[in-house]
């Protein structure tokens, strides 16, 4: 199937979603079994929100690919410690990821105005990281030649900053939260006031827990920016699209990516706007894997579709002997 | 009753008398409990049978004898403390051990009886008031009846999310004196290690009782199993036993899986992970999950991973059961699987003997709020 239709602005989202659902129901056995067990199939779905979302653990525990993975196929894997099972996302069509990445970023940012600086390990050290692949793609397509991976553990070079200033480009500084905090704490530097910092999450792996607000304030202070210049990206190994939040913390999606918030006690159900629940994803760019994913992230959504990410969902547990004031 | 041994003897004899008097207070309490459908008849009978066999003058004296040196303190009036027990009601008679410990210790007992199990413990307490000289200061299903009690210590079980509310209530209503000691138990389910050399068919009956008795609701109920054997075979053995269980057939078979468990079962089947449902419970060969109500997981792992899991989650895990308690489990004292729903009277919730605690009531920290 030629996946370019997912970017076609003349076709409504619902039509595109149904086409992807039918395709994946037919081609992806685990997803088909999952849907059948729930009594759902393409000819029984009336609305898009009735398509069941597969738990993201499927990418860890099974081969989620409608095309049989081949030896040289691009594959992304989630980060993890030795011995841990990691998710694998097979990408038989890297061009699809490129398109989703560029079109998605262009939806929200005038990318041609920016030089990309990435404070992450380089691509050669992490060829299986979807984030680093994405950054490598952005860096390599910048015609100025000024975009680059920064060296972890070293400050942003003053010469690099001068060169960017001389080019009249703005800076878009990418990094995982914990990496940017390290940079901010060890090598604070004034960035031009029209710069944007794009943190890509990852606060839970840092040596200390930090709220998003605290993170953004810390980064803004270290780089002499207004906190509104610290933005966020929401993505994961299992997705080929990203959502972006400006300084308000509310994420927006490109047209082929839909987020919903699901009832943790019944993931087939969406919760009303304003209520917290599990973040559900429909990423149409995942044509060759599974577009319909239930994450373990906690979120809340507004009526207009913007959403916030509130960390990992930790369920309240009422098992066992438990004195409850209102029940006992 | 001047000594702990005296109190233990009297209490054991009283409990046996209470249990034997089926037409008396217990009989009425039993009828009310079943009429109101608070628990399955099977579970109430099981609980009473267990009390009959485990609570006696001998067993209580034996329990008390372990702390006989410390128990003299309450034999003078000035050493007597007011103990407030907040009883949960998820199982029949679930608060009994705390009552026994307080009364053997010689302290004053005040007990908030759960509205979910309002009759059974109340009937015992009334029996004790009418037939013994034990100091039962107050018991009620209404929390307001303990306003201004100013108890010296409180004992209850709670979860991380509920403890803060309880503490607030106790403070607001002056139910505890300043500096009162707390014994808060937070563990909510139990784990088993089944080695590959165990006979899965032989152990399945005990596993099913550990998983399903009391609808799987107690903190001693089994929710997480580790084995270095074949998980498929173990799940099949448990499924066969569950299928033959009259308890499950008569009490649980009409129930359906919750939407969440239905969703999870669909996912497990999609990934060809062995699973089956019995009533509203789902048993699956998958990763451990301490949070999903009604889910029992069977995970292939080695013994060290099982021990590591139990230690890492020690605030949540009550007991570790196994087929061979002679083998070591690090710092953890493993119990036979058969003890899951039939613990001895002196078992240690959250690793703390309540009778021991009553004589060394250093503040056992509850969950951080």
ipTM of the assembly?
Answer: 0.93
Task: Measure the CA–CA gap between B335 and A133, rounded to whole angstroms.
Answer: 51
Rounded mean pLDDT, A201-214: 71
A contacts of B218 (beta carbons < 8 Å) = 320-321
State pLDDT tens for residues A163-177.
Answer: 999 999 999 999 998
Check A52 against B263: CB less than 8 A apart: yes
Measure the N-to-C terminal CA separation of chain A; round to a whole number of Å: 58
Question: How would residue A203 be classed by pLDDT, with cut points 50, 70 and 90?
Answer: low
Average pLDDT over residues B88-116: 95
Name the maximum alpha-carbon separation found in chain B.
Answer: 67
Average pLDDT, chain A: 91
Main-chain dihedrals φ then ψ at residue A144, nearest 5 degrees: -75, -25
- Higher-confidence residue of A327 and B172: namely B172
Grouping H, G, I as helix, E, B as strand and the rest as coil, residue B38 is: coil
Residue of B nearest to A326 (CA): B115
DSSP 8-state symbol, B174: T
Please list the alpha-helical segments (H only) found in B219-302. Answer: 231-244, 246-247, 259-270
Separation in Å, CA of B260 to nearest CA in chain A: 5
Which among B162, B219, B223 has the least Cβ separation from residue A324?
A: B162
- In the prediction, which pLDDT does A152 show? 87
Nearest residue on chain B to A55, judged by CA atoms?
A: B267
Helix axes A130-140, A94-108, angle to 10 degrees: 70
Q: What is the pLDDT of residue A324?
A: 67
pLDDT interval class at B368 (50, 70, 90): very low
Average pLDDT of the segment spanning B184-208: 95
Looking at chain B, the number of H-run helices and the number of E-run strands are 13, 12
Distance of alpha carbon B148 from alpha carbon B127, whole angstroms: 26
| pLDDT greater than 90 at residue A123 | no
Question: How confident is the model at residue B366, as a pLDDT?
Answer: 45
Answer yes or no: do B266 and A325 touch at CB < 8 A.
no
β strands within chain B, DSSP E: 82-86, 108-112, 136-140, 151-157, 176-185, 189-194, 222-227, 275-278, 281-285, 295-300, 317-322, 335-336
What residues of chain B lie within 8 A of the CB of A52, using their CB? 263, 266
* φ, ψ dihedrals at A13, nearest 5°: -60, -45
CB A35, CB A268: distance < 8 Å: no
User: How far is Cα A276 from Cα A264, in angstroms, rounded to an integer?
Assistant: 9
Identify the CATH homologous superfamily for domain B189-339: Aldehyde Dehydrogenase; Chain A, domain 2 (3.40.309.10)
Q: Do B90 and A321 touch (CB under 8 A)?
A: yes
From the list A316, A269, A314, the residue with the least C-alpha distance to A294 is A269
From chain B, pick out residues whose CB is under 8 angstroms from the CB of A30: 270-271
Distance from CA of A107 to the nearest CA of B (A): 35
Nearest CA-CA partner of B46 in B221, B178, B301: B221
For residue range A60-80, what is the model confidence (pLDDT) as tens digits? 999 999 999 888 899 999 987
The confidence band for B77, taking pLDDT boundaries of 50, 70 and 90, is low
Pairing status of strand A277-283 against strand A257-263: antiparallel
Residues of A in contact with B316 (CB under 8 A): 317
- Closest Cβ–Cβ partner in A30, A316, A323 for B88: A323
Dihedral angle computed from the Cα positions of residues B68, B69, B70 and B74, in that order, rounded to the nearest 10 degrees: 70
- How close does chain A come to B88, measured CA to CA in Å? 4
CA A228 from chain centre, in angstroms, equals: 20
Size of interface A-B (CB pairs under 8 A): 122
Cβ B267–A58 below 8 Å, yes or no?
Answer: yes
- Could you give the dihedral angle defined by the CA atoms of residues B265, B271, B272 and B275, in that order, rounded to the nearest 10 degrees? -20
For B169-192, the pLDDT digits (tens) are 999 999 999 999 999 998 999 999
**Is A321–B258 a contact, with Cβ atoms under 8 angstroms apart?**
no
H helix runs in B66-212, sequence order: 96-105, 120-131, 160-172, 200-212
Q: Does residue B318 surpass a pLDDT of 80? A: yes
Q: Which pLDDT band holds residue A82 (cuts at 50, 70, 90)?
A: low
Cβ–Cβ below 8 Å for B271 and A61? yes
CATH code, B4-185:
3.40.605.10
List, in order of start, the domains of chain A with CATH numbers: 3-68+256-312 (no CATH), 95-245 (3.40.50.980)
Statement: residue A318 has pLDDT above 90:
no
More confident residue, A314 or A9: A9
**10 Å Cβ neighbour count for A327?**
14
Tell me if B291 and A317 make a contact (CB, 8 A cut-off): yes
In chain B, whose CA is at the least distance from the CA of A35?
A: B266
Tokens 């003897």 belong to which residue? B9
The residues on A that touch B, with CB distances below 8 Å, are: 30-31, 33-34, 37-38, 52, 54-55, 58, 61-62, 264-269, 314-325, 327-328
Distance from the A84 Cα atom to the nearest Cα atom in chain B, whole angstroms: 12
Of A31, A62, A323, the CB nearest to B157: A323
Residue A191 in contact with residue A210, Cβ under 8 Å? no
Which among B188, B187, B197, B190 is positioned nearest to B323, based on CA atoms? B197
Backbone phi and psi for residue B257, each to the nearest 5 degrees, phi listed first: -65, 145
Quick check: A328 and B88 CB within 8 A?
yes
CB contact under 8 A, A321 and B292: no
Tokens 């059961």 label which residue? B321
Most confident of A7-11, A204-208, A254-258: A254-258
Residue A327 to residue B116, Cβ atoms within 8 A: yes
Q: How many percent of chain A have pLDDT more than 90?
A: 77
- Inspect the interface and report whether the beta carbons of A317 and B158 lie closer than 8 Å: no
CATH 3.40.605.10 domain range(s) in chain B: 4-185
For residue B291, the chain A residues in CB contact (below 8 A) are 314-315, 317
**Is a pLDDT exceeding 80 seen at residue B79?**
no
E strand intervals along chain A: 54-55, 74-77, 88-91, 114-119, 148-149, 170-175, 196-199, 230-234, 243-245, 251-252, 257-263, 266-270, 277-283, 292-301, 307-312
Contact state of B270 with A54 under an 8 Å Cβ cutoff: yes
Which of left, alpha, beta for A224 (phi over 0: left; psi -120 to 50: alpha)?
A: left
Contacts of A168 (CB under 8 A, 6+ apart): none
- Cα A34 to Cα B36: distance, rounded to the nearest angstrom: 40
Is residue A98 helix, strand or coil? helix
What confidence tens digit (pLDDT) does each residue in B121-158 have? 999 999 999 999 999 999 999 999 999 999 999 999 87
Give the per-residue pLDDT at B363: 45
* Cα(A171)–Cα(A114) distance, integer angstroms: 5
Tell me the per-residue pLDDT of B257-307, one tens digit each, with 9 for 90 and over.
999 999 999 999 999 999 999 999 999 999 999 999 999 999 999 999 999
Top residue of A34, A61, A293, A320 to mutate, by most chain B CBs within 10 Å, is A320
Nearest CA among B159, B165, B161 for reference residue B184: B159
A320 vs B91: CB contact, 8 Å cut-off?
no
Low-confidence winner among A81-85, B40-44, B49-53, B178-182 (lowest mean pLDDT): A81-85
Q: Return residue ranges of chain B for CATH 3.40.309.10.
A: 189-339
CB contact under 8 A, A320 and B188: yes
How many CA within 13 A on the CB side of residue B153? 24
CA distance A33 to chain B (A): 5
DSSP one-letter code for B87:
-
CA distance linking residue B330 with residue B349, whole number of Å: 18
Q: Among A121-130, A270-279, A316-325, B90-99, whose mean pLDDT is lowest?
A: A316-325
Nearest-10 Cα torsion for A151, A157, A163, A165: 110
A328 CB neighbours in chain B (<8 A) are 86-89, 112, 114-116
Q: What does each C-alpha distance from B151 to B4, B29, B173 come to in angstroms?
A: 22, 28, 11
Please say whether the beta carbons of A259 and A266 come within 8 A: no
Q: Which of A58, A315, A328 sits opposite B271 (nearest CB)?
A: A58
Instruction: Search chain A and give the residue with CA nearest B116.
Output: A328
């Amino acid at each position: 199937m030629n996946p370019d239709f997912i970017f076609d602005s003349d076709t409504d989202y619902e039509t595109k979603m149904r086409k992807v659902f039918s395709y994946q129901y037919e081609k992806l056995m685990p997803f088909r079994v999952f849907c059948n067990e729930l009594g759902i199939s393409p000819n029984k779905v009336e609305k898009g929100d009735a398509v069941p979302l597969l738990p993201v653990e499927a990418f860890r525990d099974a081969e989620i690919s409608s095309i049989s993975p081949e030896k040289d196929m691009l594959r992304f894997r989630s980060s993890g410690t030795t011995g841990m099972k990691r998710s694998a996302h097979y990408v038989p069509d890297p061009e699809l990821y490129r398109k989703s990445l560029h079109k998605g970023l262009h939806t929200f940012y005038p990318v041609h105005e920016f030089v990309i600086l990435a404070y992450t390990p380089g691509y050669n050290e992490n060829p299986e990281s979807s984030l680093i692949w994405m950054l490598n793609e952005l860096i390599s397509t910048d015609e100025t030649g000024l975009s680059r991976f920064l060296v972890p553990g070293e400050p942003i070079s003053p010469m690099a900053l001068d060169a960017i200033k001389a080019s009249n480009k703005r800076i878009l500084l990418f990094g995982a939260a914990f990496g940017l905090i390290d940079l901010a704490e060890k090598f604070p530097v004034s960035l031009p006031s029209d710069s944007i910092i794009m943190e890509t999450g990852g606060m839970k792996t840092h040596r200390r827990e930090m709220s998003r607000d605290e993170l953004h304030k810390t980064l803004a202070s270290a780089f002499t920016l207004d906190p509104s210049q610290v933005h966020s990206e929401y993505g994961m190994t299992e997705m080929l699209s990203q959502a972006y939040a400006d300084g308000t913390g509310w994420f927006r999606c490109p047209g082929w990516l839909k987020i919903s918030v699901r009832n943790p006690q019944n993931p087939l159900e969406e919760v009303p706007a304003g209520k917290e629940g599990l973040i559900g994803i429909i990423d149409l760019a995942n044509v060759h894997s599974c577009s319909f994913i239930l994450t373990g992230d906690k979120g809340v959504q507004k009526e207009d579709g913007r959403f916030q990410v509130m960390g990992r969902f930790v369920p309240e547990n009422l098992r066992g002997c438990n004195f409850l004031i209102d029940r006992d | 009753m001047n000594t702990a041994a005296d109190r233990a003897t009297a209490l054991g004899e009283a409990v046996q008398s209470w249990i034997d008097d089926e037409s008396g207070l217990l009989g009425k309490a039993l009828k009310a409990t079943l009429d109101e459908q608070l628990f399955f008849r099977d579970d109430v009978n099981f609980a009473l049978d267990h009390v009959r066999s485990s609570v006696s003058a001998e067993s209580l004296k034996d329990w008390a004898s372990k702390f006989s040196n410390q128990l003299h303190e309450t034999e003078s009036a000035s050493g007597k403390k007011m103990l407030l027990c907040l009883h949960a009601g998820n199982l029949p008679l679930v608060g009994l051990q705390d009552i026994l410990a307080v009364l053997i210790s010689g302290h004053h007992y005040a007990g908030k009886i759960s509205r979910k199990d309002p009759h059974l413990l109340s009937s015992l307490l009334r029996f004790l008031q009418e037939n013994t000289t034990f100091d039962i200061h107050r018991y009620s299903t209404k929390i307001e009846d303990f306003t201004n009690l100013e108890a010296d210590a409180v004992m209850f079980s709670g979860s991380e999310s509920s403890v803060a509310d309880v503490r607030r209530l106790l403070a607001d209503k002056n139910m505890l004196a300043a500096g009162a000691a707390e014994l808060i138990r937070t563990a909510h389910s139990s784990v088993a290690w089944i080695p590959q050399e165990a006979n899965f068919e032989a152990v399945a009956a005990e596993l099913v009782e550990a998983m399903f008795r009391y609808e799987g609701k107690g903190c001693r109920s089994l929710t997480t199993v580790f084995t270095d054997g074949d998980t498929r075979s173990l799940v099949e053995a448990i499924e066969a036993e569950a299928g033959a269980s009259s308890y499950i057939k008569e009490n649980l078979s009409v129930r359906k899986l919750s939407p969440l468990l239905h969703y999870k079962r669909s996912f497990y089947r999609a990934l060809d992970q062995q699973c089956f449902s019995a009533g509203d419970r789902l048993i699956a060969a998958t990763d451990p999950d301490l949070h999903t109500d009604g889910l029992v997981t069977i995970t292939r792992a080695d013994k060290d991973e099982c021990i590591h899991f139990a230690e890492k989650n020690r605030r949540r895990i009550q007991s570790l059961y196994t087929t061979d308690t002679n083998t070591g489990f690090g710092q953890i004292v493993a119990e036979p699987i058969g003890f899951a729903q039939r613990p001895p009277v002196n078992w240690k919730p959250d690793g703390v003997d309540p009778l021991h605690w009553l004589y060394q009531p250093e503040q056992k920290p509850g969950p951080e709020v």
